Structure 1
Amino acid sequence: MSQPAPNTSKPLWHLDGLQALLTAGSLLNAIAFFAAMPFASIYLATHTPLSNAAIGAVVGGIALIGSVGGVLGGVLVDRFGAVPMMSLGLVAYTGIYVSLTVARETSVIVALLLGLGAARLFVEPGGKKLLSLAAGDDGRIFRVRYMVLCFGAIIGPAIGGVLYNVSVTAFFAVPALFYAGYFVLVLVFRKQLSFQESSGMEAGTHFPLRAAVRDRKLLAAIAAGFAIFLVFSQLESMIPLYIKGEWGQEAVGYFAGLFITNAVLALAFQVPIDWLSRKVSHNLLILIGCAGFALSFACFMAASTQGLVMLYIGIVFWTLGEGVLLPLPDIAIHEIATDDRKGTYFGLSECRYLGFFAGPFIGGLLLAQESVYFVVMALAIFICVPLLVSKGPAIATARSEKKEEAADADV
């Protein structure tokens, strides 16, 4: 499929019909996710006899199934099509949340929550594949997707926080409605979405899993994403513990303020970051993002002696680093994956979310020595630099190489 040249001069928010449709779907997905999942631990602690360790295992297991299972999901998306697989995942999401409105047995609740991870492994690779196909060569669409996630992270918890205190039925019914709406959107426009996918496929193509796991550029993008998420996970795991150690009972309020500031700034920063990405080289942009994270850890460490203001200065730098770096692995995968393997590539890339598991564990080991913790985390983000810097040929050449490799791949 011949892709149009990217028009990086157009505004970031300028979307065509299919791009707008898929972005709307991503928004429904984000609001549904953030309306329920941030409260999952509290719900389990209130409505089940599970220990804190067991609750952590259940909540972590949801993400683990989605990330590791994303490989299977991506393969199935390429094999059977994004629209059927996404429809299956969205029906599963809706059914699970509807079932949670009436579930009362601990074993049933746990099984249903873990099922959310299984639903994710169909929806995420399929959605990203379709978005990548609709975007052509302009990978900036994944910055738009990141903005949508930030917006969902603001709206979703506000909805969930209100409904959690109303009733369990209302709390779980809302994400069910959002996922049902997403399913209806896919169902209504299934012909256009299927055409978008099929127009980029050659007859007789198969999922190139073996070729994917041998693709060094893909593995580099996944490793970079793992390093980014390892560091990024500190904001929701170790930083709150650090604040608690410094400010005691006031920590909850302070962290809530930081979290809201981060979400709002993350949304607002994408347009200037997009402008910056067109003014500086790709490699310099990566270094700017890493420097943002590193400076944030320096500010957080200084807060223990310099006061609360350093936390908020730190969150500004943090959000700069986050806004620059978080979309880059998806943009890289968008650029290196040919149309016939986008589902597999995006599915395999879900493994980078394992950084959310390694990050809190490593951070927990280091936090006892605060100075060591902050220095290690400030340096760890630079692991992604050699993995993301531009070394290869232009995107068009890379796509041509991928097509030749696909023809020869033993699948």
Structure 2
Amino acid sequence: MAETTRIQQAGFRDLIADRTVRLIMICSLVNSVGFFSMMPFLALYLADITSLPLAVIGAFTGSIALVGAVGALAGGVITDRAGAGSLLRVGFATYTLLGAALAVVTTPVVVLPLIVCLGGALMLVGPSLKKLMSLAAGEGGGLVFRMRFMTLSVGAALGPLLGAAAYSVSHRALFGVSAVLFALCLVLVHVRQGVLRALDVRSEAPRKERWLWTRSLRDGRFRLVLVAAVLITLVFAQFESMIPLYLEGEAGDNAPTLFAVVFAVHAVLGFVYQWPAEWLARRASMPAQAGFGCIGFAVSFVCWGASEGRLWVLLAGVLAWTVGEAILMPMADLITHRIAPDTEKGAFFGALEIRYLGFFAGPILGGALLGDGTWAYFGVMAVISFAAWPVLRSRSLLPGTQS
């Protein structure tokens, strides 16, 4: 196994000094920029080119997560058998082709299926990238998933700004930019495929056990992690799906620019907050951490509901939101890294992508509630923000416990 698997309890500087970890993090960063340069604007794009109701628009933007959730379990098992590096190349190639197609085609009857197909790339890239990260970090790998979240935050800061600039020039340019970035990821992974192959652990067990693909779902601890993750993502999905539509009603034509600024501030804070989140993780129990995160989400919905488009109130909500995000979003990955066997990490991380059902259901629920009024939406979502907390309080999820 590669040298990186011997790193235990290493700091940020130690991990990033390792060439394999650095390669994976660069791919994560570029992929994040490509994804976030188009994803926050999909709802606005579909509202511009179609006359679909908000709930239906939410369903199509959420369908990316639905396909990723349904297919990632199979994608993870294939990752364990065929190799994470190979699946990662296929995933980035799929992203590139779909982005290029969306940059060319404008007919809604074609655009809508292409958007749904983005979930196919998601189901390949997610499990394979996370398996490589987990293997690279070894037993002390919790920090590498906070590093991953930091790359997502940086990408989420740059992506919407890049997307807003492209969107102001041409709606189709939005997808062209993403296609170029995904192609860059493909080149990076292809050039360094030997390094990734040396790191990878392939499982022979799928050929010996018929129902291996369901083993992760038969793990009691993992089922709790999955339930909590779905509930967290259902709440988290509101930020990039319904909040832009809410701002469009409040700010009109200025909504894309306003949301890009809000999203960029949130992303920068998400990066910075990882240090306080790591400090809190060393001093507080997981249930206490989860409680702080849920409070952050709930407070943000109250702020946004009272904002009336005022930037300072929106940013106050972003401050609270990012506390919840920094604590809760990496939590499922951290626990899964700890409980999953090396040879089945692809299957476990693939099964974890079922949490994207929350990203599918979230925009549908949000669209229906927002259609009934501002406070019907923000009030209900503030309550739902606490749904994952009872699950994350389970003693079986604490370090050192067994299923």
Q: TM-score range by the shorter chain?
A: 0.7 to 0.9
1:51 corresponds to which letter in structure 2?
A: L
From 85, 88, 96, the counterpart of 2:87: 85
- 1:94-173 correspondence runs (5 A): 94-137=96-139, 138-167=141-170, 170-173=173-176
2:288 aligned with 1:288, yes or no? Answer: no
Matched, 1:279 2:283: yes
Q: Deviations over 1:175-218 (max 9, x none)?
A: 22211211121112212211211388789776821211211111
Local SS of the residue matching 2:291: helix
Q: Is the 8 A contact 1:30 1:149 kept in 2?
A: yes
Are the counterparts in 1 of residues 75 and 127 from structure 2 also a CA contact under 8 Å? yes
Deviation at 1:96, TM superposition (A): 2.2
Taking the aligned partners of 2:172 and 2:351, their CA distance within structure 1 comes to 35
- What's the CA shift for 1:272? 2.1
Q: Structure 1 108/311 Cα, relative in aligned 2: closer, same or farther at 3 Å?
A: closer
Aligned residues between the structures? 394
The answer (yes or no) to whether the contact 1:12–1:144 under 8 Å persists in 2 is no
Shift of 1:113: 2.7
Describe the superposition over 1:117-158 as per-residue Cα deviations: whole angstroms up to 9, x where unpaired. Answer: 112111111001111111112212111111111111121122
Distance 1:13 1:265, change over 3 A: farther
**Structure 1 vs Structure 2 CA RMSD:** 3.4
Corresponding residue for 1:213? Answer: 217
Q: Deviation of residue 309 (structure 1)?
A: 4.8
**Contact 2:158/2:264 (8 A) holds in 1:** no
Does residue 318 in structure 1 map to residue 321 in structure 2? yes
SS in 1 for 2:142: coil
Gaps of 5+ in 2: none
TM-score, normalised with respect to structure 2: 0.84
The equivalent position to 1:39 in structure 2, one of 41, 52, 57, is 41
What are the superposed Cα offsets for residues 313-368 of structure 1, whole Å, 9 maximum, x if unpaired?
33212211111111101111111111111111111111112112333444455564
Q: Give 1:39 shift.
A: 2.9
CA contact (8 A) 1:126 1:343 kept: yes
C-alpha distance in structure 1 between counterparts of 2:252 and 2:50, whole Å: 26
Equivalent residue number for residue 68 of structure 1:
70
Tell me the equivalent position of 1:20: 22
C-alpha distance in 2 between matches for 1:272 and 1:170: 37
Structure 2 counterpart of 1:176: 179
Distance in 2, matches of 1:31 and 1:113, equals 18
The answer to whether the Cα contact below 8 Å between 2:95 and 2:121 also exists between their aligned partners in 1 is: yes
Aligned pairs (5 A) from 1:181-260: 181-198=184-201, 208-237=212-241, 239=243, 252=255, 257-260=261-264
What are the within-5 Å matches in structure 2 for residues 326-345 of structure 1?
A: 326-345=329-348
Counterparts of 2:46 and 2:107, CA distance in 1: 11
Per the TM alignment, residue 168 of structure 1 is displaced from its structure 2 partner at its CA by: 6.2
**Counterpart of 2:81 in structure 1: which amino acid?**
R
Check the 8 A contact 1:6/1:136 in 2, yes or no. yes
In the alignment, the residues of structure 2 paired with residue 154 and residue 121 of structure 1 have an alpha-carbon distance, to the nearest angstrom, of 23
Cα gap change, 1:364 to 1:185, in 2 (>3 Å): closer
Q: More displaced, 122-131 or 58-67? A: 58-67
What secondary structure does 1:136 align onto?
Answer: helix
How far off its partner does 1:24 sit?
Answer: 0.4
Instruction: Report deviation, 1:256.
Output: 5.2
Code of the residue aligned with 2:88 in structure 1: it is M
State the shift of 1:114 in Å.
Answer: 2.5
Residues 248 and 122 of structure 1, relative CA distance in 2, 3 Å threshold: closer
Which residue identity does 2:156 align to in structure 1?
A: A
385-394 or 290-299, which deviates more: 385-394
Question: Could you tell me the TM-score, scaled by structure 1's length?
Answer: 0.82
Structure-2 separation of matches of 1:327 and 1:339: 19
Distance 1:200 1:134, change over 3 A: farther
Tell me the secondary structure at the aligned position of residue 105 of structure 2.
coil
Task: Select the residue among 58, 61, 65 that pairs with 1:59.
Answer: 61
Q: 1:177 to 1:358 in 2, by over 3 A?
A: closer
Q: Deviations over 1:220-266 (max 9, x none)?
A: 11111111122223334555666677x57598376555433322221
Cα distance in 2 for partners of 1:106, 1:231 equals 28
Change (3 A) 1:40 1:377: closer
What CA distance in whole angstroms lies between the structure 1 residues aligned with 2:366 and 2:171?
Answer: 34
C-alpha distance in structure 2 between counterparts of 1:208 and 1:267, whole Å: 37
Pair member with larger Rg: 1
Instruction: Write the distance in 2 (CA, Å) between the matches of 1:394 and 1:360.
Output: 31
Identity of aligned residues (%): 39
Distance 2:301 2:118 in 1: 33
Structure 1 position 350 matched with structure 2 position 353: yes
Q: 1:185 to 1:102 in 2, by over 3 A?
A: same
